[in-house]
Each structure stands twice: as C-alpha cells, then as structure tokens.
Amino acid sequence: MTTGEERPRFTVRPLPEREAEVSLPAEFQTRRLLRRLAEVVALIVVLVLVALLAPGLGEVRDVLSRADPGWLLVGVALELASCGSYIVMFRPIFCRHMSRRSAWEIGWAELGVGSILPASGAGGLALGAWVLNRGGMPGDRIARRSVAFFLLKGSVNFVAVAVIGFAMASGLVGPEKSLWLTAFPAALSVLLIAAVVAVGRAGPGAPAPQGASRLPRWVSASRRALVGGAAEALAIIRSRNRAMLFGALGYWLFDNAVLWATYRAFDATIPLTVLVMGYLIGQLGGLLPLPGGIGGIDGGLIGTLIVFGAPAAVTAAAVFAYRLILFWLPLIVGAAAFVSLRNGLNRPDRPDLCPAPAR
C-alpha cells in the first residue's frame, strides 16, 4: 500500500491516440448535470417562495430585508477561501506530482458537481476519480485515496466537536447547555474517530473467490477501499504534510466563518461554541439523498442552532443566506473548471492529470 510517507517513482503515461473525443460517464454528461441543476434551482425557488409568501414567516422576511450587503460579500470571500482550501488538500492526497492547473480544475469541478448531487460531496469525488483513472492512476489507489480524502476532510469537524463539546459540558466555556447537547455529541465524535483508527488497523480481508457474483465482489472491494483508505488517512496525518493539514483546517474553518458572516449580515452574533456544535450536527442533513442537499442541510442547521439557543428568525435568515452562497459560488466557478477539464481530456498537450506509477 502506498502511504503519504512513501515516494514511489512516477512516469508520465502518454495519452493514447484518440479516434473520437473522450466522453464523460453518463452521470456527468452536460445534459444530465443541467437536468440536476434545474431540479435544484426549482427546489430553491420553492423555498424562496415559501419564505416570501408563507404566513407566519413575517419576522423572517423582516430580518432578510435588513441584510447588510457588506457582510454577505465577506461571506462570499470566506467561501472562496474554503473552496481554495479544498483544492490545497486535494493535490497532496491524490497526486503530489499533478500540475497545479489540473488540481485546480479537478478540485473546482468536484465542488461544482457536489453542489447539485446528493451524498455530501461524494458525487464530486466520483467525477475526480474517473478523471484520475483516465489519467493513469490505478483504480484501487483512487478508491483508497478517495476514502482517505473524505475522512480527512471531515475529521477536523469531529475533533472540534469533541473538544468543544467536552469543554462546554465541564463548564470551561459557555453557554451552559445540557449534556445531551454537549457531552453526548462529543462522545459520539470520539467514538467515530476511534472507529476510523480501528478500521485503519484492520486487515483487508480475504478477496472474493474467483467466479463470485457481483455482490460478494462489491463487498470485498468496498472493504479493501475502506480499510485501505482509513490506513492511508492515518499515514497522511503522521506524515504531517502541511498542505494537507492547512487545507483540511481551512476548509472547515472558513466554511464555519461563512455562517458566522451571514449572522453578522443580519446584525446578530451567536457564541462560537454554539456555531461549531450546530454546524456539525446540522451538516449531517447533507447525507440525505436530496438534490444538492437542499432541505437536508438547511433544516438540520436551523433546527440544531435553534435547539442550542440561537434566535429562530435570524437563524433562518442566516442559514438561508449561507446556503445560497454555498450553492452558487462553487457552482459558478466549478462550471468554468468543469468545461476546461472536459476540453483538456481531448487535448494531447494535457497528459498532466496524474503521472502513472512506474512498473
């Protein structure tokens, strides 16, 4: 297994002569992505109409009308920093030998696709996996590194909740909340981190027997990817790669800061401890199979933050603004990166997606 500490020799594998243009997989064809985009935009329009017209939401509309454009622009800048951090951590995890241009294109394209596909960004990673495999990276390495990337990207959140949750439960920081809202999510975060460490130390298991049906082969491959990915995540952490560490921290920190900025846009502040705790628990709604996570993340964030004591009307307005920034910014920049990446797949002068390991 290749770890973050090893430095394998690499050679550039020339792109083969093409008789026809390379086509992306069906789920990433422009027509299908546009259909997905239309579904998400339609859902956003419905939510906007509900916010503007539904009875009982007059206070939310009053808050929205007082939005400070300056703070919303700060939120946009912070989201740019968060997306940039994603790209910073992408290159050292997947391929340190990749050109910065390719890392920029793949990273932003993943973020753009992740805005309109469900499963909390996994759809975007699937696009990057296909591109890297097309560029010469072996499938098993891509699977391990995708799992490692997903784990490392989320690990900062869980570590923060473990630390802040126990600090709130013990009275070291405020505000005072019940153990169910502090110690309980902190304990779950610790258990999850421990589970990842345990999985990383487990063996990949026996391969599926020759001639096995699709399900046993899928289970065996998934186990190898999960165990290998967890092990590589631990190895990458031990390597103390600064780009990866700063990227993972920045992705989480700046995204939290976007939500903080949207609260400030409505002249409100909430304790940072509440913001961090509400952010993690609320973001779990993005795992629901909803287009772009619309409705899942929003409902999770609003409900969790209100339970933690944030004012209801301001929270609904702040989360609404946060989600608009989180949706449109990666989508707009990611669309340009996606087009450039797609065109680059059919250019013979772009064999730089990732050098293939020398055999």
In a domain, 66, yes or no: yes
Containing structural domain, residue 331: 23-140+241-357
* Contact in structure between 229 and 145 (CB atoms under 8 Å): yes
d(CA 74, CA 232): 36
Q: Phi and psi for 3 in degrees, rounded to 5?
A: -110, 175
d(CA 261, CA 71): 6
In a domain, 269, yes or no: yes
At residue 170, the pLDDT reads: 92
At residue 139, the pLDDT reads: 79
In a domain, 170, yes or no: no
The first and second tokens of residue 38, run together, are 């239309």
In a domain, 270, yes or no: yes
Map residue 255 onto helix, strand or coil: helix
In a domain, 97, yes or no: yes
At residue 78, the pLDDT reads: 97
Sign of dihedral through CA atoms 27, 352, 242, 256? negative
For the entire predicted model, the pTM comes to 0.81
In a domain, 178, yes or no: no
The stretches in the chain having pLDDT less than 50 are: 1-20, 356-359
Question: Structural domain tally of the chain?
Answer: 1
Give tens-digit pLDDT for 234-286: 888 888 888 888 999 999 999 999 999 999 999 998 898 989 888 887 776 65
* Contact in structure between 308 and 278 (CB atoms under 8 Å): yes
In a domain, 204, yes or no: no
At residue 68, the pLDDT reads: 94
Specify the length of the chain in residues. Answer: 359
In a domain, 167, yes or no: no
d(CA 56, CA 54): 6
Q: Phi and psi for 99 in degrees, rounded to 5?
A: -70, 150
The first and second tokens of residue 182, run together, are 């502090």
